């Protein structure tokens, strides 16, 4: 029974690690001019991404508009542009970085005791990201 629990915990840590690692690593291979996202292949730049259906219909940004470009700017260390594009994206990038380090530690040292306050911090950080995203979304209508 203990071995089964141990394996499930490791699988959860690896899954969350990959969910955080993939978007951050991907953002290093993309570029943006602030309005479009491109990828470089064989010396040429190709526009990628789908137009936002919500924005096309309403003319307003959806809560995730600018998230990819925000990640790209964060990877380029252009924090001010990342924050302007999507405040929640800025925070989510930081959250993902924290998760990457946390999950690696948990995978390498599964018996390490993590203080409950860190778990609470993670939950509070996610709630903060949600509040910032919702606030930004709602305030654009006023």
- Indicate yes or no: pTM above 0.85: yes
Per-residue pLDDT tens over the stretch 74-100: 999 999 999 999 999 999 999 999 999
Phi and psi angles of residue 32, each rounded to the nearest 5 degrees, phi first: -150, 155
Which one, of 91, 93, 69, 92, lies nearest residue 81 by Cα?
69
Domain that holds residue 40: 2-139
Q: What is the pLDDT of residues 28-57, one digit of tens each?
A: 999 999 888 999 888 888 999 888 899 999
- The count of structural domains within the chain is 1
How far is Cα 85 from Cα 121, in angstroms, rounded to an integer?
A: 25
Cα–Cα dist 78/82, whole Å: 6
């Amino acid at each position: 029974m203990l071995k089964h629990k141990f394996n499930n915990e490791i699988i959860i840590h690896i899954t969350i690690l990959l969910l955080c690692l993939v978007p951050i690593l991907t953002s290093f291979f993309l570029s943006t001019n602030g309005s479009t996202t491109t990828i470089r292949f064989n010396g040429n730049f190709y526009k990628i991404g789908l137009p936002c259906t919500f924005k096309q219909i309403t003319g307003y940004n959806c809560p995730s508009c600018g998230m990819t470009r925000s990640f790209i700017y964060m990877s380029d260390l252009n924090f001010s542009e990342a924050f302007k594009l999507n405040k929640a994206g800025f925070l989510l990038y930081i959250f993902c970085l924290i998760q990457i380090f946390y999950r690696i530690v948990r995978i390498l040292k599964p018996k390490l005791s993590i203080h409950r306050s860190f778990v609470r911090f993670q939950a509070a950080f996610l709630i903060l990201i949600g509040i910032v995203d919702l606030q930004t979304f709602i305030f654009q209508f006023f």
